[in-house]
Amino acid sequence: MSSRLSLNQGTVRTATLAEALDACVEVGVESIGVWRDRVEPIGLDEAARRLSDSGLRLSSLCRAVFVTAPEGPERRAAIDENHRAIDETATLYAAAAAGSTAMLVMVAGPLAPGERDLAAARGRVRDAIGELESHARDAGVRLALEPLHPMFAADRSVVSTLGTALDLVEPFPKETVGVIVDTFHLWWDAQLAADIARAGREGRVASYQVSDWITPVPSDLMLARGMMGDGHIDFATITRSVAATGFDGDVEVEIFNQEIWDSPYVDVVRLMRERYDALIEPYLRSDES
């Protein structure tokens, strides 16, 4: 492959799958991370056909639904939904160009209403992975647990650091369950280099996602990410750490940002490629000086 850059569809949130694929082809981006809610309007078969026609690799399917609900109908529905998401990942992956891994992104989920026990909620994440793992293995899909920034600990992900994610996935086969290193979520952590090295030793680096931390922090925290180079993150250092693990997969750019969403798709993808080529790609090679 000539470039490992992948457009996560979240970066062009308002584009249809067809529009996102076209923008990638036009700019020479060879891989895409697909969102399920962009597949739903056209159906899985049509999405698979379009992906196949595009010639792109599939770097991930985003994403499994939250799995922190306590036992009961809500939890059962979430597990069922994630079984379907595993099958969708396998179907889309089979239609995509070769060279990537079939991967389903998992975000843990929030505390239950009124709950204050983070450890218990994390335990429910582990239990959910335990319920899904054998199906994922049979389907040839890797589950990739993504720790989110601690500012989302109450309402989106009780898993906030790479170290915590690694602890949670420890009981499961590394071939089926990995973790995601996302710069926006993890850049601040003084343990990050050590935890990335640990993830490498334990064979858990499933994906590397890049976007920047910008200030002042936008008022909607969900839309607080920036294009690489517009913020404070040291991509050279983090990328070197990831490369040193032997990670050789696609690198996803996932940016939730209203200004970027309001820009023409092709312009966004072109800028993304420029920044990736300048700030990320040089440090992915183990022989870079």
Rule CB under 8 A: which residues touch its own copies? 111, 115-119, 122, 149-151, 153-155, 160-161, 163-164, 167, 187-191, 213, 215-217, 219-221, 231-234
Q: Which residues are CB-contacts of 225 (< 8 A; sequence separation ≥ 6)?
A: 184, 211, 212, 213, 214, 254, 255, 256, 257
Tell me whether residue 98 or residue 190 sits nearer to its own copies (CB atom).
190
Shortest Å distance, C-beta 126 to its own copies: 12
Closest CB to its own copies among residues 102, 112: 112
Instruction: Provide, rounded to whole angstroms, the least separation between the CB of residue 155 and its own copies.
Output: 5
- The two tokens of residue 27 are 């700019």
Q: What angle do CA 167, 89, 164 make, to 5 degrees?
A: 10
End-to-end CA distance of the chain: 22
CB of 119 to its own copies, least distance (A): 8
How near is the Cβ of 169 to its own copies at its closest, in Å? 14
Residue 188 vs 285, nearer CB to its own copies: 188
- Contact call for residues 54 and 123 (beta carbons, < 8 A): no
Three-class DSSP category at 117: coil
Using alpha carbons, select from 11, 32, 26 the residue that is nearest to residue 228. Answer: 11
Query: Which residue shows structure tokens 């429910």?
Result: 124
| Distance in Å, CB of 234 to its own copies, minimum | 4
In the complex with its own copies, the residue whose CB is nearer, 80 or 117, is 117
* Rounded Cα–Cα distance for residues 85 and 106 (Å): 10
Q: How far is the CB of 115 from its own copies (least distance, A)?
A: 8
Cis amide prior to 216 (ω within 30 degrees): yes
Decide whether 36 or 204 has the Cβ nearer to its own copies: 204
Nearer to its own copies, 30 or 189 (CB): 189
d(Cα 161, Cα 64) in Å, to the nearest integer?
19
